[in-house]
């Protein structure tokens, strides 16, 4: 029942117009975002902003893969959640300072990304998504059974510690500044990757892989590097989350989390620089403030997926 050739793909899932010349809108938007994040804790509960920043970095990392590489990973919770476990374990049991705990988590995610990525890129499109999902589910079961993850309880009461032996992260202000710095560093790194020659090749592969191959690019290698980068950055986000919220749990490695990050990137706009950040804030706000309506949050999230696709792609709604 399989087609001999894949159906003609009329539109890539992330068609972004190519702009040329010096465009000042991005630097200005960036400065506005930084300004907003600096004054945010005055008006909003800082813990909420910190949590949202972690997810924003997670969504940006995911977006690097789908938005610029055209690869839909449906298992990004794997890197986020396992990094969060390892960071929490390193900080709590091994007594690592926060910077080393985050590094531990990040390296874990990068290693897992290397393994999962090299398996997943052996198939394309829909199979790629299914493979990443299945591998993430496998590691979810490992997390469920492994002793050190604490099973259903997770790793609780993770110490925040002292950054570089100087900054006490138990102080909310210090923690906030640290999270903001990590987020901005990750954000700028992703921006740098996208605009580097590597990023350009990645976009070329997204648009037309066969042509990229015929031009002599080893596309598999590019895809793998993008996958590992994305996993590692998701790991930074997950590790930071473990330190900020002082908990690593099964929620972070389970499949709904993988769906949630897709949703964040989707809501904000796939393949845009600021979109995933906005999307993450919207989704986390929705979860925080709609928590009392319980399961309706899932229904609303599902409805957003359905609406996004039907509204943007039915022929009667002119584009």
Question: Of the ranges 46-54, 160-168, 197-205, 310-318, which one interacts with other proteins (CB under 8 A)?
Answer: 310-318
Residue 147 CB partners (closer than 8 Å, separation 6+): none
Sign of torsion over alpha carbons 96, 98, 99, 104: positive
Minimum gap (Å) between residue 14 Cβ and other proteins:
9
What's the count of helices (H) and strands (E) in the chain, helices before strands?
13, 2
Of the candidates 145, 210, 214, 292, which one interacts with other proteins according to CB under 8 A?
145
Give the count of beta carbons closer than 10 Å to the beta carbon of residue 61: 31
Decide whether 255 or 274 has the Cβ nearer to other proteins.
255
User: Shortest distance, CB of residue 251 to other proteins, whole angstroms?
Assistant: 14
Query: Restricting to residues 272-301, which ones interact with other proteins according to CB under 8 A?
Result: 294-299, 301
Which of the residues 60 through 99 are near other proteins (CB under 8 A)?
72, 74
Q: Does 230 bind other proteins (CB under 8 A)?
A: no
Pairing verdict, β 167-168 and 162-163: antiparallel
Count of alpha carbons within 13 angstroms of residue 209, beta-carbon side: 16
Beta carbons within 8 Å of 44's beta carbon, 6+ residues apart: none
Using CB under 8 A, pick the residue from 67, 98, 238, 259 that binds other proteins. 259
Burial (0-12, 13-18, 19+ Cβ within 10 Å), 188: exposed
Cα-only R_g, the chain = 19
Q: Which of 3, 22, 147, 319 binds other proteins (CB under 8 A)?
A: 3
Q: How far is the CB of 163 from other proteins (least distance, A)?
A: 37
* Interacting residue with other proteins among 22, 52, 255, 318 (CB under 8 A): 255
Reported in sequence order, the residue ranges of the chain that DSSP labels E, i.e. its strands, are 162-163, 167-168
Min CB(123)–other proteins separation in Å: 6
Nearest-approach distance from CB 313 to other proteins, in angstroms: 6
Q: How many residues bind other proteins (CB under 8 A)?
A: 54
CB of 181 to other proteins, least distance (A): 33
Rounded to a whole number of angstroms, the minimum distance from the CB of residue 288 to other proteins is: 18
Quote the Cα angle for 74-78-84, to 5°.
140
- Beta-bridge mates of residue 248: 155
Residues that bind other proteins (CB under 8 A): 1-4, 7-13, 72, 74, 119, 122-127, 129-131, 133-135, 137-138, 141-142, 144-145, 255, 259, 262, 266, 294-299, 301-306, 308-310, 313-315
């Amino acid at each position: 029942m399989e087609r001999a050739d894949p159906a003609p793909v009329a539109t890539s899932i992330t068609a972004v117009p190519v702009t040329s010349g010096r465009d000042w809108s991005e630097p200005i938007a960036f400065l506005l975002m930084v300004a907003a994040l600096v004054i945010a804790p005055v008006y909003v509960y800082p813990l909420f902003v910190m949590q949202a920043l972690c997810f924003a970095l997670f969504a940006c990392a995911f977006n690097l893969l789908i938005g610029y590489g055209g690869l839909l990973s449906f298992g990004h919770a794997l890197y986020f959640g396992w990094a969060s476990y390892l960071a929490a374990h390193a900080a709590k049991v091994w007594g690592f300072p926060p910077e080393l705990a985050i590094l531990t988590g990040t390296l874990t995610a990068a290693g897992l990304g290397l393994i999962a990525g090299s398996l997943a890129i052996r198939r394309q499109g829909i199979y790629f998504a299914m493979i990443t999902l299945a591998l993430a589910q496998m590691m979810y079961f490992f997390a469920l059974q492994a002793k050190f993850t604490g099973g259903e309880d997770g790793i609780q009461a993770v110490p925040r510690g002292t950054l570089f032996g100087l900054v006490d992260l138990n102080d909310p202000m210090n923690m906030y500044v640290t999270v903001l710095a990590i987020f901005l560093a990750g954000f700028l790194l992703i921006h740098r990757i996208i605009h580097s020659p590597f990023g350009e090749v990645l976009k070329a592969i997204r648009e037309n892989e066969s042509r990229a191959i015929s031009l002599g690019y080893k596309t598999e290698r590019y895809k793998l590097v993008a996958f590992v980068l994305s996993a590692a950055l998701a790991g930074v986000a997950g590790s930071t989350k473990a330190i900020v919220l002082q908990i690593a749990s099964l929620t972070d490695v389970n499949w709904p989390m993988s769906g949630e990050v897709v949703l964040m990137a989707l809501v904000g706009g796939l393949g845009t620089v600021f979109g995933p950040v906005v999307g993450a804030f919207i989704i986390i706000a929705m979860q925080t403030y709609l928590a009392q309506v319980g399961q309706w949050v899932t229904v609303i999230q599902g409805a957003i997926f359905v609406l996004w696709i039907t509204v943007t792609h039915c022929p009667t709604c002119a584009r």
